[in-house]
Structure 1
Amino acid sequence: MLKRIAMLSAHTSPLDQPGDGDAGGMNVYVLELSRQLASRGVEVEIFTRATSRHQEPVADPEPGIRVHHVAAGPFEGLEKNDLPSQLCSFVRDVLRAEVEREPGHFDLVHSHYWLSGQVGTVARERWGVPLVHTMHTMAKVKNAQLAEGDSPEPIGRVYGEEEIVRLADQLVANTSEERRELIELYDADPDRVAVVHPGVDLEVFKAGRQDVARKMLGIPSDAALLLFAGRIQPLKAPDVVLNAAAVMLERDPGLRDRLVVAIVGGASGSGLEHPTALSDLSTSLGLDDVVRFIPTVSQSELADWYAAASVVCVPSYNESFGLVAIEAQACGTPVVAARVGGLPTAVSDGVSGVLVDGHDPADYASALHPLLVDAELREGMSHKAVHHAESFGWDVTAERTLEVYADAIAAYAKSPV
């Protein structure tokens, strides 16, 4: 019986605020999955790198969940690409957690993102337990779909991911498309790649409250509210949203009286190199009167923004799934998204939203404008968006993940010693 697992999230803590720095959908994924597992009697110990001297070495945020803040390198000033050099320190402390316990303390390791996967391969061998790994994003996929001004992922990451694919007992893909990429680009064994969709907290992200949400956020009741939510970096393409807004106003000048463009999130990744780039773009496009920049907010306030919006735009160059899209639809808001990665799974094209090929702002303007001005069209998609999102609850994700764990345990038992 599965009693306790080690969850590895080396480069970002599930306790960090999503939408800021390196915190995003993966943080939500790790925490929500851990909550679901804990509620089913499986204890979860999460290992993540400490980023402040003020963090307690061990935290117990909820019953059944323990978070270890591992001291590995300087607390501050390290970027994600600097972290591979600190993995030895991270591995040392993760392995120590088992040494200090009775043998067989952990039944399984579940690692997230390639940095954690590297640690997971060592823990698998030393602890004699199966390894399950979730990529979340992959270097080969990201490098094939780079945004302008973004840097390619280093070759060291490619080699690291290839090693994880070879050694993991089971791989979790967020979508069928990601499963295909793992098999075709990384030569993964099809029998060891399972599709498990991420979920959405249907208690937090709820529909039917646009008027209340707008009043709380100070948004006019008749506003045409276009929302972008996420990390501010080229990969997420928030510039496409601003350029699309400029195109819409050029085509329909009367829209300006009602248009509000809300950008919710903080700078991340290569976006940190030019932290004012998006606000500078807004000024150059003459949009300062309609654009609002909102710093990263809590999940509950983010739900208010989704509920208040007329349409949410997710124009990313790559998304392994697209939690923003599912969360928005759960709040009854249609989504216009790029036809990349997992977004065709997250958004039902023509039903709960619209998928756009490429990243031409004019194409996004054409998709967004009808949803901003046609209340009947928007309301019809809103009802379908809620129905679509309801099939992505975290309880479904947890049950499917437990099945993957069972498969990993069985595969490990058959593997050569």
Structure 2
Amino acid sequence: MKKVLVISNMYPTEEHLAYGIFVKNQVEQLEAEGIETLLAVNTNPATGKKNVLLKYAKWALNVGKVFRANKHDIGLTHSHYVFPSGLFSYYLKQRHNIPYIVTAHGGDINKMAKKSGRIRDLTEKILQNADHVIAVGEELAQTIQQDFRVGKDRITVMSMGIDRTVFAEAPNKAEAAQKLGMDPTKINFLFVGNIIREKGVAELIKAFKKLNSSQPSKAELYCVGSTKDVNFTTQVKELAVGEPGIHFIEPMPQQELSAYFKAANVFVLPSYIEGLGLVALEAMSCGTPVIASDVGGLHYLLADEAGVLVPPKDEILLYNVLAKVVQDCGLQVNEAQVEELLQIHDAKTIITRLIALYGNYSK
């Protein structure tokens, strides 16, 4: 098989560890299986119209440079995020007849495509001209099929996969908590994700404050994530002022992050939208049950009592669930269903399926 050119508008660096880390993980897993990859990625998370224009212009030049230097060795491009990444794959197919696969992650369909009619049209064009489309969740696949008129036979539902050697259950959760300075006699709730409005962080803080007033000193909340919007992060931290049980922690390498998943009693993901919710699977893999919003891929992921689903944007109902967890001293889930999910989403399984797809479409 020829080389695969991986194109992504998100890719991590030492300064921005969580920025598209799932793409980097998949690239490394592909390389470990003998698939040669080339990278044409954006590593700059800067926001603001001017910054976005500048970083994407630089990224476009890099895509062209990498392709020209390796064009005879490239058999396929794989773009992560339909727009803007897929636009490069579409262009290379039109101009150089290079086949492409595009992975839709959720925000590109549920948010980006709704920004303007032009972006929506480009998103549809990219999807319809792709040799194959990967959707990270069931609901996302249905949206692509129905709203963007892509045939069901050209869509595969496949997450980015979880490395179960990294995200594994601790032999003793109480000891794991103590190592991180958590109080194992309390219920330790964990959130991992960008500190942005769409992740439901404000509602989580409000729900936890209510919990702390009704059942003081029985729980702690740990929020691990990076700042994308300084104003919003400031607002969220102001909400938490005077609440000693709320802790904000900066992003960290996944080996360190897994320690928090192992130590926490319950993981909470109250997102407004979510293509799949890979972090929920990472928590499950560490033996930590999940409470999450009933949206997107999470609706399917936590079905059959694999976790607890709550309506998005509702701090009162979220509080009720948190309070019940504290009252019950934990959260019980369907462990057999969780294990079945973990096997389906195991990175080894995912990479085997992805390589098979590459073989079907590579030149």
Distance 1:290 1:135 in 2: 37
Matched, 1:108 2:70: no
Matched, 1:201 2:163: yes
Deviations 1:65-123, CA, capped at 9 Å, x for gaps: xxxxxxxxxxx85547853576555334323333334x521110000111111111112
Deviations 1:119-168, CA, capped at 9 Å, x for gaps: 11112233322110012124552389xxxxxxx73444323212211221
Q: SS at 1:342's partner residue?
A: helix
Aligned residues: 361
- Residues 96, 155 of structure 1: CA spacing in aligned structure 2 closer, same or farther, 3 A cutoff? same
Q: Which residue of 1 aligns with 2:141?
A: 179
- Runs of 4 or more above 6 Å deviation: none
Q: Is the 8 A contact 1:17 1:298 kept in 2?
A: no
- Residues 389, 373 of structure 1: CA spacing in aligned structure 2 closer, same or farther, 3 A cutoff? farther
- Residues 384, 77 of structure 1: CA spacing in aligned structure 2 closer, same or farther, 3 A cutoff? closer
Distance 2:49 2:297 in 1: 23
Distance 1:157 1:272 in 2: 26
Matched, 1:402 2:355: yes
Instruction: Give the stretch that moved more between structures: 363-372 or 216-225.
Output: 363-372
Q: Is the 8 A contact 2:188 2:265 kept in 1?
A: yes
Q: SS at 1:313's partner residue?
A: strand
For residues 366-377 of structure 1, the aligned pairs below 5 Å read 366-375=320-329
Q: Is the 8 A contact 1:197 1:397 kept in 2?
A: yes
- The letter of the residue matching 1:277 is Q
Structure 1 unaligned spans of 5+: 52-75, 145-151
Deviation at 1:182, TM superposition (A): 0.2
Deviation at 1:28, TM superposition (A): 2.9
Distance 2:16 2:342 in 1: 20
Distance 2:247 2:255 in 1: 19
Structure 2 unaligned spans of 5+: none
Q: Is the 8 A contact 1:17 1:296 kept in 2?
A: no
Q: Is the 8 A contact 2:196 2:232 kept in 1?
A: no
Instruction: Give the stretch that moved more between structures: 204-213 or 107-116.
Output: 204-213
Q: Is the 8 A contact 1:329 1:335 kept in 2?
A: yes
Q: Which residue of 2 aligns with 1:90?
A: 59
Distance 2:339 2:169 in 1: 7
For residues 309-388 of structure 1, the aligned pairs below 5 Å read 309-350=264-305, 352-375=306-329, 378=331, 385-386=338-339, 388=341
Q: Is the 8 A contact 1:310 1:371 kept in 2?
A: no
- Residues 98, 361 of structure 1: CA spacing in aligned structure 2 closer, same or farther, 3 A cutoff? closer
Q: Which residue of 2 aligns with 1:258?
A: 218
For residues 224-235 of structure 1, the aligned pairs below 5 Å read 224-235=187-198
Distance 1:80 1:47 in 2: 22
Matched, 1:281 2:281: no
Q: Is the 8 A contact 1:199 1:397 kept in 2?
A: yes
- The letter of the residue matching 2:35 is V
Q: CA RMSD in A?
A: 2.6
Matched, 1:124 2:102: no
Q: Which residue of 1 aligns with 2:3?
A: 4
Q: SS at 1:358's partner residue?
A: coil
Q: Is the 8 A contact 1:139 1:157 kept in 2?
A: no
Q: Which residue of 2 aligns with 1:214?
A: 177
Q: Is the 8 A contact 1:198 1:321 kept in 2?
A: no
For residues 11-50 of structure 1, the aligned pairs below 5 Å read 11-15=9-13, 23=19, 27-49=20-42
Distance 2:63 2:190 in 1: 40
Distance 1:403 1:179 in 2: 19
Identity %: 24
Q: Which residue of 2 aligns with 1:295?
A: 250
TM-score, reference length from structure 1: 0.79
- The letter of the residue matching 1:169 is D
Q: Is the 8 A contact 1:329 1:382 kept in 2?
A: no
- Residues 278, 389 of structure 1: CA spacing in aligned structure 2 closer, same or farther, 3 A cutoff? same
TM-score, reference length from structure 2: 0.89
